[in-house]
C-alpha cells in the first residue's frame, strides 16, 4: 500500500486505490489497478459500487459516491494491512530479574509459551507476570538457543530475539517444517 502522501493531487489514483482495497476485503466490489487513468475498468468498478449501494449508476464519481467509498475504505483497510504491532518499551538499561513483576512479563511469558510448544528444550514458563523459577528457566533456555548469554533475565536484547522468533514458531505449520523453524532460530 502506498503512503497517503503519495496520493496528494492524485484523486483518480486515490479512488482506484480505495476501490482496490474494498475489493480485497469483499468480492462484491471490482478491483482496479491504481494507474491514475479514469478508463473503462474504473468506470465499471464505480458503476458496480454505485449499483451495490443504491446510488445513481453513472460510472462517474460524484460527491455522494466519493463520500460513500471513503467511508467504507477506512474500515476495509484495517482488514487488508498487517495487524497493529504492540510496542514494548523497556527503559534504557532496564532488566527484569528473578522476582520482578511487570506487565511486560505477561507478554514475554506468552511468547515463551508458544516457543516452548515448538522447541522441546524450552521449558513451559509460568503465566503470572512474575519472573519466577519457571520463567527464569524458559528465558535461559531460549537465550541459549539464540546464542545469547544465559542470564535468565529479560533485557532489550532478549526481548528483541523473542519478538523475532515468535512469528516463526506461531506460523509453523503454515508451510514451514519444524526443522526449518529451528534453523531460522539459530540464524538470527
Determine the pLDDT at residue 84. Answer: 74
Determine the pLDDT at residue 82. Answer: 79
Determine the pLDDT at residue 1. Answer: 45
Q: What's the CA gap between 169 and 73, in Å, rounded?
A: 33
User: C-alpha angle with apex 140: 138 to 141, nearest 5 degrees?
Assistant: 65
- The CA radius of gyration of the chain, in Å to the nearest whole number, is 24
Structure letter (DSSP) for residue 101: B
Residues of the chain with pLDDT under 70: 1-9, 173-188
Q: What's the CA gap between 38 and 10, in Å, rounded?
A: 11
What distances in angstroms separate CA 106 from CA 4, 87, 123, 156, 160, one per listed residue?
35, 14, 16, 16, 16
Determine the pLDDT at residue 116. Answer: 93
- 172: nearest Cα among 161, 183, 188: 183
Determine the pLDDT at residue 151. Answer: 97
Structure letter (DSSP) for residue 159: H
Determine the pLDDT at residue 187. Answer: 47
Cell numbers 451495490 correspond to 52
Determine the pLDDT at residue 155. Answer: 94
Q: What is the pTM of this model?
A: 0.58
Amino acid at each position: 500500500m502506498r503512503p497517503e502522501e503519495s496520493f496528494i493531487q492524485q484523486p483518480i489514483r486515490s479512488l482506484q486505490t480505495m476501490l482496490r482495497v474494498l475489493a480485497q476485503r469483499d468480492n462484491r466490489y471490482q478491483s482496479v489497478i491504481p494507474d491514475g487513468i479514469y478508463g473503462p475498468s474504473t468506470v465499471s468498478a464505480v458503476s458496480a459500487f454505485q449499483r451495490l449501494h443504491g446510488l445513481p449508476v453513472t460510472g462517474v464519481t460524484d460527491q455522494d459516491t466519493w463520500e460513500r467509498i471513503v467511508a467504507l475504505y477506512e474500515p476495509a483497510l484495517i482488514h487488508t494491512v498487517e495487524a497493529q504491532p504492540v510496542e514494548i518499551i523497556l527503559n534504557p538499561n532496564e532488566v527484569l530479574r528473578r522476582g520482578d513483576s511487570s506487565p511486560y512479563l505477561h507478554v514475554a511469558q506468552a511468547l515463551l509459551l508458544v516457543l516452548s510448544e515448538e522447541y522441546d528444550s524450552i521449558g513451559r514458563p509460568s503465566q503470572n507476570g512474575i519472573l519466577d523459577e519457571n520463567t527464569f528457566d524458559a528465558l535461559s533456555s531460549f537465550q541459549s538457543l539464540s546464542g545469547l548469554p544465559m542470564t535468565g533475565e529479560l533485557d532489550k536484547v532478549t526481548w528483541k530475539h523473542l519478538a523475532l522468533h515468535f512469528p516463526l514458531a506461531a506460523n509453523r505449520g503454515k508451510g514451514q517444517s519444524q526443522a526449518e523453524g529451528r534453523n531460522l532460530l539459530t540464524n538470527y
